[in-house]
Homo-oligomer: A and B are copies of this chain.
Amino acid sequence: MNNLTDYPRPSVAVDTAVLTVDPGSGFVVLQVRRAQGRGWALPGTFLHEGEILADAVERSLADKANIRGLSPRQLHVFDALGRDDRGWVLSVAHVAVVPPEQLASRFAETTRLVPVHAPGRLIYDHADIVRLAVDEVRARYAAMPDPDGLLGAEFTLRDLRLVHEAVAGHDLQRDTFRRAMEPHIVATGATTAGGRGRPAELFRRRPARDTTR
């Protein structure tokens, strides 16, 4: 019978592409400096005993970058035998999107934010993880208004469009974008003031109702 102790077990790691939209640099990924070696990597850690993957992701980000409160999603398990020179290690890649304010308190010396289209040289298969993460988030943002909450609860359509343009990596048409998002948002009644042109309406996300009517 299958006794759990019959076989050696792999180490299981998590690696996370933490993405945000930076007003200056657009859609960026968080990288951490490697502890012993030189070079940059995605934050990751080994899974501890009795820990679930999401908790390992949160712990790795608290420890390595001083970031808290994420909602990581799984992407893929990387299991190539030679991928990690420390031995037999499976890595479960994750993606997490956070508003830029939440990265303000990150370790300045050992972390950096790099545009996703030119993430630099990364160890192991971390460049693949960034690609998977970016594709996943782009697909989500194409379908819904700011599903990962890069903006607060209320926003103008201009703010929303700028965030979506940063994620998509290209400009979006103002009127088409508005009509695509309108089924998924509700006007609050309030408007902005103090801006240059006509004041803009404020919207909230529609509470995940049926969108087909």
Contact = CB atoms under 8 A, between A and B. Distances in A.
Interface of A: 1-2, 4, 6-12, 35-36, 46-50, 52-53, 74, 76-77, 79-81, 86-90, 92
A2 B86 contact: yes
A36 B1 contact: yes
B49 A86 contact: no
Given A1-B35, A35-B1, A90-B12, A7 B81 contact: no
A183 B92 CA distance: 36
Contact of A11 (B4, B11, B92): B4
A52 B36 contact: no
Given A7-B47, A9-B12, 19 more contacts: A1-B36, A4-B11, A4-B46, A4-B86, A4-B89, A7-B46, A7-B48, A9-B9, A9-B10, A9-B11, A10-B12, A12-B90, A49-B88, A50-B81, A52-B79, A52-B80, A53-B90, A74-B76, A77-B77
A46 B90 CA distance: 14
Contacts of A7: 11, 46-49
Nearest to A3: B86
A197 B35 CA distance: 72
A107 to B, nearest CB: 18
A36 B8 CA distance: 23
Contact of A4 (B35, B48, B49, B87): B87
A94 B126 CA distance: 22
Nearest to A49: B8
Contacts of A1: 35-36
Contacts of A76: 74
Nearest to A55: B79
A80 B51 CA distance: 9
